A and B are shown apart, each in its own frame.
Chain A
Amino acid sequence: MARLTLCFAGAAILIATGSAALADEPDATARAAAQHLAVTVCGTCHGPTGNSTQPKYPRLAAQNANYLAAQLKAFRSQTRGDPDAIGYMWGMASQLDDATIEALAAYYAAQKAEPSARGGSTAASRGREVYEHGVAAQGVPACSSCHGPDAHGLQDFPRLAGQHGQYVLKQLASFQSNMRNVAIMHGVAQRLNLDDMDAVAAFLEAQP
């Protein structure tokens, strides 16, 4: 019960932050500027429409705008501390203003997520079990309770469907070590063993 309370408290904070940030929808000029930025700068790693083909870089297409905006702000303020955030995104986000962040988030949220070229490994069935039901013996809650039954994200919780398995695995490790300091996910990841992390990452990558 304590964990559930923590989960909802975290969600409330994220929702409040995200909702305030998206109070103003980007206008046409801001949308065009964001598209240019996304294609010509962000696109080198994340793909022009956010459908990255390289597992080092997360797929951003159809990602929740609130989540994207929150992450960009976390990079800017250097509060997200996993290694790739430090090496890449702290610099890239350092000069972004709020309006540009909102416009970029809206751009990626509007893109169509293309199916991943991988996924569907033999571990995926175990991954489905973990995702949908958690691991009761280890006190791991179902991922779907926050990320949605189809893994498309809920409220401010990120979309995970189609995400690179290697990226998901690396993030779980960062949550586990607290390099990426998110209390909810630290609580989940520290109870997940590596096989289950692998399985759920493989399952997620295969989801449309």
Chain B
Amino acid sequence: MSAKSLSVLGRLAAIAACTVAGLGAAPSAFAVPSFARQTGLACEACHTVFPELTHFGRVFKANGYTLTNTKQVRDVTGKKEELLELAQFPPLSIMAQISYTQMKTPVPDLSSVGAPGVAQNGSAGFPQQFSFFYAGKIAPNFGAMFQLTYANDGGTIGIDNSDLRFADEIVLPDNGSLTYGLSLNNNPTVQDLWNSTPAWGFPFAGSNANVGPLAGTAIAGAFAQNVAGLTGYIYWNESLYAEVGGYRSAQQGVTNQLTGGAGPLDGTASNVIQGLAPYWRLAYEHNWDRHSLEVGLYGLDLKVLPGSASGAPTPLNGPFNQFNDVAEDLQYQFIGDQHLLSVEATHIHESMTLNAAFASGASANPSNTLTTTEVAATYYYRRKFGGTLQYFSTTGTTDAGLYPGTPAGAPGVVTSANGSPDTRGWIAEVNYLPWLNVKVSAQYTWYGKFNGSSSNYDDVGRNASDNNTLYLLLWFAY
């Protein structure tokens, strides 16, 4: 679980005025070697450095992960209709992240009430995460990237980012092309082609043993792995991309109280999407020489019924909380043989209409806004040595209900003394890749402001900079 998802979990928890079960699973981003085995192409065809995609990688994804350059087990009809195309070896991969996290200032130890000490500072994750993938073609126009992940924070195995696609491509009269397809996925923006949107944006990996801020937008991973989305898209001349679709709750580990089955969801479930949440995306990419530039817009409109998140099981009708996210994004890439440069930026505006939260007292205002900005620049030399510098900022309406203060006698840390979500800082990361599928990283996060203040933000004496975090990572996939 990254800092990004923790922040969203924190905010939804505040809205719900209780712990939100099942939300905030890790938004994680990977490159999958089974794609390389399937296509016979080196990693650099699809990635600058994993997991960032090149133009070729984006086209491969838009075409449903189906490009294949291996011998197939086939079956055809007498009219040459393809009935079966199976790779002789299944497209399976593994991925592991092993990490170490050191915070500038340790957090209080809650195990000893009355005589609090501090928790151990320096958390080893072995593994922080271990994943299995099915990533590749299933049928001629049908492919998938399914990910099953063990994460050490939960100590369990669960579904991770997954994307099932049907896609085809036609040749237009002027030798242009039109790719069209459907994506069935479990995290808004996981199906996106650029690394400037939340699911695949920087940081590609982050600590799960740190302190994350309270506020984050709904589209940035709050509902990851707890929704099922079906979207349709077109990609014209590998330049103009348009996508529309909708997401519905598909919560993991939740049962119907009457039947004991995995559904239908009832009032004991928390934060259930009412109906279908519309998702939309528009992007334009231009490639020239060794440059690539993309500008785009995307958005998600969620109506969320609190259910048991309101404090007790509550039927899934009546007032809801609405999160309307509208975002702009930009990506620039220069891909030389020696030098590679990428710039990714996104700016997400969220309008909240909190009828349910306001009625229950979980929010102080009936409506709020929240804006996040992230700008990252990455440089690599020969895909071997590189680094990224990112600026991030969150600003929004002050709301003592959503971003609550520290109760008397409580340790603070994950609270806001002034009810403000404002957070900003920098992430610097250096990377070394001895081989293209193995990355060693050192990442440092600085907070200039955290949950509304730079100093004593929790009114218990903790400063924003106390949450600065050093994160060391060994990350490989095979």
Contact = CB atoms under 8 A, between A and B. Distances in A.
B40 interface: yes
A35 interface: yes
Contact of B290 (A48, A56, A95): A56
Contacts, number: 61
A77 interface: no
Given A87-B41, A87-B44, A92-B40, A53 B288 contact: yes
Interface in A90-138: 90-92, 94-95
Interface of A is mostly: helix
Nearest to A91: B40
Interface in A15-62: 35-36, 39-41, 43-45, 48-49, 53-56
Nearest to B38: A91
Given A48-B177, A95-B71, A86 B289 contact: no
A138 B63 CA distance: 50
Nearest to A39: B171
Interface of B is mostly: loop
Contacts of B42: 86-88, 91
B175 A49 contact: yes
Contacts of B67: 41
B238 interface: yes
B120 to A, nearest CB: 45
A53 B175 CA distance: 15
Contacts of B290: 54-56
A22 B459 CA distance: 81
Contacts of A36: 171
Given A41-B67, A53-B288, A88 B41 contact: yes
B69 interface: yes
Interface residues of B, number: 27
B70 interface: yes
A36 B63 CA distance: 14
Given A88-B42, A91-B69, A95-B70, A35 B171 contact: yes
Contact of B238 (A44, A54, A91, A95): A44
A161 to B, nearest CB: 19
B55 interface: yes
Given A48-B175, A86-B42, A87-B42, A92 B69 contact: yes
B177 to A, nearest CB: 5
Given A54-B290, A95-B69, A40 B40 contact: no
Contacts of B41: 87-88, 91-92
Chain A, interface size category, equals: 20 to 34
A22 B38 CA distance: 30
Nearest to B56: A44
Nearest to A86: B42
A112 to B, nearest CB: 11
B177 A54 contact: no
A28 to B, nearest CB: 15
A48 B176 contact: yes
Contacts of B63: 40
B288 A91 contact: no
Nearest to A37: B171
Contacts of A53: 287-289
Interface string A165-191: 000001000000000000000000000
Given A88-B42, A88-B45, A39 B177 contact: yes
B285 interface: no
A45 B42 CA distance: 14
A95 B69 CA distance: 6
A95 B40 CA distance: 10
Interface in B320-371: 335, 337
Contacts of B294: none
Contacts of B289: 53-55
Interface string B268-291: 000000000000000000011110
A130 to B, nearest CB: 24
A40 B169 contact: yes
B148 interface: no
Given A53-B289, A55-B290, A88-B45, A43 B177 contact: yes
Given A40-B171, A87-B44, A91-B40, 5 more contacts: A43-B177, A53-B287, A54-B287, A90-B40, A91-B41
Interface of B: 39-42, 44-45, 55-56, 59, 63, 67-71, 169, 171, 175-177, 238, 287-290, 335, 337
23 contacts: A35-B175, A39-B175, A40-B171, A41-B67, A43-B175, A43-B177, A44-B55, A44-B56, A44-B238, A48-B175, A48-B177, A53-B289, A54-B289, A54-B290, A55-B290, A56-B335, A86-B42, A87-B42, A91-B41, A91-B42, A94-B69, A95-B68, A170-B337
